[in-house]
């Protein structure tokens, strides 16, 4: 029976130190894929892959003990059982015939209500656990040092103060360039859209505002889609 997915972060029951260590190792070693759980991108994995991974981590545990441990992880809110299905991506067709090999699909996940972990190849689970990484610790440390450094500004040497001012100006310039590119995208899109009578969708840097990495935001350089009215079926 399918259940309702709570958008809020679930309350996760605290684990023992050795269990938390095994959970962290499982999160790093278990193969994952991305899917959409109620429009939210999450990582999911097969029950069989997780079972094999935790078996290599906890070599002293027997199979039934591993199943109990994985069930504890699941009911404690660190991952949840889901069903998996795909839906085709709706694409605007151009004059050229698109081959079936070019069709794209979206992986969708739907919550399930299970009381025990199943090490099956056809049973999937979605990660709800996101441990704090060393990168996040470094960011917090950097913010703390920046705040302390700001309050020590009266004691800064002139060279340091000049360097910080140059960096601040450079950041403002980069921000202005980014905003300018974003506005330029919409100007180009509206211009091409109106000139083509609403039939051409031209986007400059289409990935700029998407949830992706810095380098991926500038790839591809542009995208073109063509609108075609559907012929009425007689």
38 falls within a domain: yes
Whether 196 is in a domain gets the answer yes
17 and 126 assigned to the same domain: yes
- Judged by average pLDDT, the poorest of 8-12, 111-115, 180-184, 215-219 is 8-12
Residue 53 or residue 154, greater confidence: 53
C-alpha angle 120/126/132, rounded to 5°?
Answer: 130
Owning domain of residue 108: 10-90+103-131
Phi, psi of 87 (to 5 degrees): -130, 140
- 153 in the same domain as 45: no
Instruction: Give the span between the Cα atoms of 227 and 104, in whole angstroms.
Output: 18
What average pLDDT does the chain have? 83
Looking at the fold, whether 21 and 123 belong to one and the same domain comes out as yes
Report d(CA 92, CA 205) in Å as an integer: 18
* E strand segments, the chain: 33-37, 40-46, 79-88, 105-111, 124-127, 200-204, 222-226
Task: Report if residue 95 sits inside a domain.
Answer: no
% of the chain residues with pLDDT over 70: 85
3-state class of 2 per DSSP? strand
Are the beta carbons of 45 and 33 closer than 8 angstroms?
yes
In a domain, 55, yes or no: yes
pLDDT tens-place string over residues 75-129: 999 999 999 998 887 665 554 444 444 667 888 999 998 999 999 999 999 999 9
Are residues 172 and 192 part of one domain? yes
**Taking Cα atoms as reference points, which of 103, 79, 75 lies closest to residue 89?**
103
- In this prediction, residues 133-145 reach a mean pLDDT of 87
Residue 5 lies in a domain: no
What is the tens place of the pLDDT at every residue in 9-36? 556 778 899 999 999 999 999 999 999 9
CA distance 57 to 25: 7
Residue 39, domain CATH = 1.10.10.10
């Amino acid at each position: 029976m399918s259940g309702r997915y709570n958008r809020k972060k679930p309350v996760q029951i605290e684990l023992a130190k050795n269990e938390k260590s095994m959970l962290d190792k499982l999160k790093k070693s278990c193969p994952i894929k991305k899917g959409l759980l109620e429009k939210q991108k999450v990582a999911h994995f097969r029950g069989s892959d997780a079972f094999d991974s935790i078996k290599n981590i906890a070599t002293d545990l027997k199979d039934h003990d591993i199943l109990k441990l994985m069930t504890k992880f699941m009911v404690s809110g660190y991952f949840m059982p889901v069903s998996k299905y795909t839906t085709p991506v709706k694409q605007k067709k151009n004059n050229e015939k698109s081959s079936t090999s070019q069709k794209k699909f979206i992986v969708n996940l739907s919550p399930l209500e299970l009381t025990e972990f199943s090490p099956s190849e056809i049973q999937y689970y979605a990660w709800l656990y996101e441990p704090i990484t060393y990168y996040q610790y470094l960011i917090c440390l950097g913010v703390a040092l920046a705040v302390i450094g700001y309050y020590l500004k009266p004691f800064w040497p002139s060279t340091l103060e000049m360097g910080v001012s140059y960096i601040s100006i450079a950041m403002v310039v980069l921000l202005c360039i980014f905003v300018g590119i974003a506005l330029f995208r919409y100007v180009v899109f509206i211009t091409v859209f109106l000139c083509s009578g609403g039939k051409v969708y031209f986007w400059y840097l289409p990935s700029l505002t998407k949830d992706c990495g810095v380098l991926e935001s500038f790839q591809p350089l542009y995208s073109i889609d063509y609108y075609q009215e559907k012929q009425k079926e007689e």
